[in-house]
Amino acid sequence: MGERQKQLLKLLRGSKPGLSVDELSKGLEITRNAVRQHLASLEAAGLVTIGTTRPSGGGRPQQLYILTELGKEMSPRQYSWLAQLVVASVRREEGMENMGKRMNEIGANVAQQIRSQYPHLTTHKEKVEKLTEVMDQLGYNARNTTVSGGEAIIEADNCVFHTMANKDLEICHLDRGLMEHFTDSKVEHDECMARGGNVCRFKLTSNMG
């Protein structure tokens, strides 16, 4: 798969309703004909399919393109295989009633190890920005927004545990533990892809006052 096709898949991954040829052309900075050629290849590979249409201000409705389930599975999920082993082990040792607490502790341990690589982080904003960068490298396709009152929002449109979280929402506690301890924050999971949301959205409030 070429870089353009990877970029096209990434754009579609970030828009659950889908994108038109014009939007993909603008996002990729290539011609509409080139976009159509890439779409044809990705459709043939079973990664992209035709979605709904959208009104275009009086003209012909715009055809949208979306990822197939196979296309979603092509997304980078670099440590989900490790998490599956961890979850199975925890379930055997702790039982289902303690899963959430134990997954949170595992996330906290991961956060401690990663934070040790960045001793210069001091402000809440710096910690959130670095965590967003780390999560993006891990395959979450993450981005962050700073809001007033010492709060920040991290959104991710590629849950690396999506298949597992669909079966067991307790896995989400690993993400929360990671985020809470990396950024010294209280974390609220406002929107979840495993619960039907468009993204996973986390609100982080600094514990430092």
Q: Does pLDDT of 52 surpass 70?
A: yes
- Percent of the chain residues topping a pLDDT of 90: 33
The beta-strand segments (E) located in 15-137 are 48-54, 62-67
Q: Lowest-confidence range among 73-82, 103-112, 127-136?
A: 73-82
Instruction: Phi first, then psi: give them for residue 29, nearest 5 degrees.
Output: 60, 45
Q: Each residue of 150-182: pLDDT tens digit?
A: 689 999 887 777 677 777 777 788 889 999 999
Q: Each residue of 104-128: pLDDT tens digit?
A: 888 899 899 889 888 899 998 999 9
Place of tokens 């052309």: 25
Cα–Cα distance, 126 to 120 (Å, whole number): 9
More confident call, 161 vs 205: 205
Q: What pLDDT is stored for residue 126 in this prediction?
A: 92
Q: What pLDDT is stored for residue 169 in this prediction?
A: 79
Q: Which residues contact 137 (CB under 8 A, 6 or more apart)?
A: none
Q: What pLDDT is stored for residue 172 in this prediction?
A: 84
Quote the mean pLDDT of the chain. Answer: 84
In this structure, the strands spanning 200-206 and 185-191 are: antiparallel
Q: What pLDDT is stored for residue 15 in this prediction?
A: 85
The amino acid sitting at 100 is G
Q: Does pLDDT of 144 surpass 80?
A: yes
Phi-psi region of 172 (alpha: psi -120 to 50; beta: other; left: phi over 0): alpha
